[in-house]
Amino acid sequence: MPSSTSMACATFISLKTIHKTSSTTMVRAFSTLMSPPSKAVFYESHGPPDTVTKIIQLPPVEIKPNDVCVKMLASPINPSDINRIEGVYPVRPPVPAVGGYEGAGEVHSVGSAVQGLAPGDLVMASPPSTGAWQTHVVRDKSFWHKLDKGTPVEYAATVTTNPLTALRMMEDYMDLKSGDAIVQNGATSMVGQCVIQLAKLRGIHTINIIRDRSGSDEAKEKLKKLGADQVYTESQLNVKDVKSLLDNVPEPALGFNCVGGNAASLVLKFLRQGGTMVTYGGMSKKPVTVSTSSFIFKDLSLKGFWLQKWISSGNTEAFREMVDYLLGLVREGKLKYDMELTPFSEFHTALDKALGKQGSQPKQVIKF
């Protein structure tokens, strides 16, 4: 049966069953457990996120025996969330829809058959699913992964899309050993920050490329404090032989590209013979251009990584093990990244920042 906390938040609908005995009529009352009403970021059609989204109130939802109602606490605004609303992301919900993908929250109430979760538990959507930008989410128990209560909520809400991408790319394409090196562009991104720290923990060197912009010196120092071995702006790499800059860092075997264009070409120039570049984004919206000699004489390989594909292949247990590993590093102070927390009531302010309307900004995380 639901706990007293669960029952306190329920809406009861009486269903009368009449049972006649010799001279008595007995009435049995059954109750349907309902979620609270939910405020949500809603869009009826695809288009520019700042014009098609609005905050609405959704009615209560029935909590079935195996369901768990979670009060959402935090959810980020990722580029893929924006692309889903625009209608250009390969995997997106049919409209009308509620926005958001990953997030974390606190168990509010549970169905009568649920075991292992109770009101007050910290959980995350695992694997994530669309519809995270709302105050209450009702899903089957199997949808939720219980977390250590000492986990900072904003990290529980953001561990999937970016940190897990960094970890999977480091492990899926090459058997890196201590002393090896990685080169990456987009090093100030959340994935880039995670790559630096995860590599440092494993004794792997990182060569990091950032954009030319105001504040680049501060960005360099920040990345070095995270454990970066070398950090260069793109203009610093306008030299005949970029490898002359490596000093005691070995030629990298693995490169990560999330920018495209010239920034991708710079990653390729650093790679050693037989190296691999993995592309996981295209922020510049420019194509990756590769010279013929890179294929013929350097024997380079180009790969693509899409976390959604890996998650969709049914790796739920492996997914949860890696999430627990990453959040363990967070609790130990060994993994951190920039975020800005914004109240749900100011969602559209955070959205404008995520859309780049106010220049370069940290990852925007909505606090419910």
| Straight-line distance from the first to the last Cα atom of the chain, in angstroms, rounded to the nearest whole number | 28
Residue with tokens 């959340």: 190
Q: How far is CA 44 from the centre of its chain?
A: 24
Q: What are phi and psi of 145, to 5 degrees?
A: -120, 120
Distance CA 249, CA 232 (A): 14
The strand pairing partners of 254, in sequence order, are: 182, 276
Torsion-angle region of 51 (φ positive above 0: left; ψ -120 to 50: alpha; else: beta)? alpha
In the structure encoding, which two tokens stand for residue 293, read together?
Answer: 């000699």
Residues 36 and 9: beta-carbon distance below 8 Å? yes
Distance CA 167, CA 158 (A): 14
Distance CA 255, CA 236 (A): 18
Closest CA to 97 of 148, 52, 33: 52
User: E strand or H helix at 195, and its extent?
Assistant: helix 190-201
Torsion-angle region of 260 (φ positive above 0: left; ψ -120 to 50: alpha; else: beta)? left
Distance CA 326, CA 300 (A): 30
Catalogue the active-site residues.
89
Q: How far is CA 281 from the centre of its chain?
A: 14
Rg for the chain (alpha carbons), in Å?
24
166: which DSSP letter?
H
Torsion-angle region of 190 (φ positive above 0: left; ψ -120 to 50: alpha; else: beta)? alpha
